[in-house]
Amino acid sequence: MLRNGLAMLWRWTFRLFALLMLVAGSYALAVAVGASYPANRGWVMANSGVRIHVIDNGIHTDLVLPLVAEGVDWRDLVKPEDIADPRQAAQSHIALGWGDRDFYLNTPSWSKIDPQRTLAALTGRGSTVLHVVHLAEPPRMPQMRTILLRPEEYHRLAAFVRGTFAEGPSVRGYGSNDAFYPAKGGYSAINTCNAWTGQALRAAGVTMGSWTPFPFGVMRWL
């Protein structure tokens, strides 16, 4: 009887492992296909227009947008009193990233990653926030891409980002120049921070991977 029980346990363990490998393999294949198959294939960058940036820190991507440009003024949503040092709100640009609220608020650096919190975020059980950082226009760097958008393209991108903000109070950020704002949508392994960046750029009309849960799916097209 013990031998039969151990044999059954082994079979179920093997089946579970095989299922996990199948799920992981299917996910990896979907990521590769989504990142390789672009939307807005015929887009050509403008010679002049609104200059925006996409920054990749290896895990997460942010959009860096001018505080005021082409009639789009972010100061009605991101206000000086929302951050620890209101003087920082006079900076020329803001960086925006979207993600799981609990993970974002409690992970000020990658060294602070908690596996349990990460798993909870990937399962899509929590609410989301937009992280907004006031900053000067960043200098050129290897992990950054710069795009020039036509006014109508920038308006579409701004409309997408604005549509992500939800009602509710802001929360002070990690430092003197950032804050978190309630956001719409649910974060998961399917709908990640990088997928949000890809959606924003696709909304603008920029050539972009059809599904971009990881940074490389965003950056390879820019």
In order along its 222 residues, the chain shows pLDDT tens digits of 555 555 555 555 545 554 455 545 555 555 666 677 899 999 999 999 999 999 999 999 999 999 999 999 999 999 999 999 999 999 999 999 999 999 999 988 777 778 778 777 777 778 999 999 999 999 888 899 999 999 999 999 999 999 999 999 999 999 999 999 999 999 999 999 999 999 999 999 999 999 999 999 999 999
pTM of the model: 0.87
Tokens of 82: 């929302």
Query: Phi, psi at residue 210, to the nearest 5°?
Result: -70, -30
pLDDT (tens digit per residue) in 176-195: 999 999 999 999 999 999 99
pLDDT (tens digit per residue) in 111-144: 777 877 877 777 777 899 999 999 999 988 889 9
Amino acid in position 89: A
Q: What is the DSSP letter of 56?
A: E
